[in-house]
Homo-oligomer: A and B are copies of this chain.
Amino acid sequence: MAFSLHPRLAADGVPVARLALSELLLMNDHRFPWCILVPRIENLRELHDLSRAQCAILFEEIEAVSRALERVVDAHKINVGALGNIVSQLHIHIVARFPQDPAWPGPVWGFGTAEPYSATSAEQRITALQHCLPDKMGSG
C-alpha cells in the first residue's frame, strides 16, 4: 500500500526535505524549534517494528536533523521522542530545547497551544535547516 502522510501531521507540519527514509517536517510552532521525521512506510506504528536496515537509516536521519537544529538555533539540549498516542503513524520528534523556553524542563508534547510561524520566519528556518543537512541525505 502506498505511503501517505497522516492528515494531522500534514496539517501541523511544514515540509522541509524528503530524506532517504523519511519525510522531514518543521512543526508550525515558533515556540520550539521542532522537527518531525516520518518514515515513508505504510501502517508503521512502533519504532521496534522497523527492520535493522531501516533503523540504521533512521538513526542517521535523527543524527543529521539533531545536528542541523544545533547549528541553526544553537540548541542547549535535543529532545528526541516517538510517542504516537494521538497520531499512530510512526513519527519521531526532534526538538531543540533551551532553559528559557516556555516548557523547560518539562516535555513540549501537549504543552499549551501551538503558535504558528509567520510565512517569512518559517521560510527562513526551513532554508537554514536545508542548508545544514548533509547533501547525501536526500532521496532525490
What is A's interface to B at a CB cutoff of 8 Å? Answer: 45-48, 52, 55-56, 59-60, 62-63, 66-67, 77-86, 88, 97, 104-107, 109-110
Contact = CB atoms under 8 A, between A and B. Distances in A.
Question: Which among A47, A52, A104 has the highest number of chain B CB atoms within 10 Å?
Answer: A47
Contact of A81 (B45, B79, B97): B79
A120 to B, nearest CB: 29
A46 B66 contact: yes
B78 A66 contact: no
A77 B89 CA distance: 12
29 contacts: A45-B77, A46-B66, A46-B77, A46-B78, A47-B66, A47-B80, A48-B63, A48-B67, A48-B78, A52-B56, A52-B59, A52-B60, A55-B56, A55-B59, A56-B59, A59-B59, A77-B83, A77-B84, A77-B88, A79-B81, A79-B84, A80-B81, A81-B81, A81-B107, A83-B107, A85-B106, A106-B110, A107-B109, A107-B110
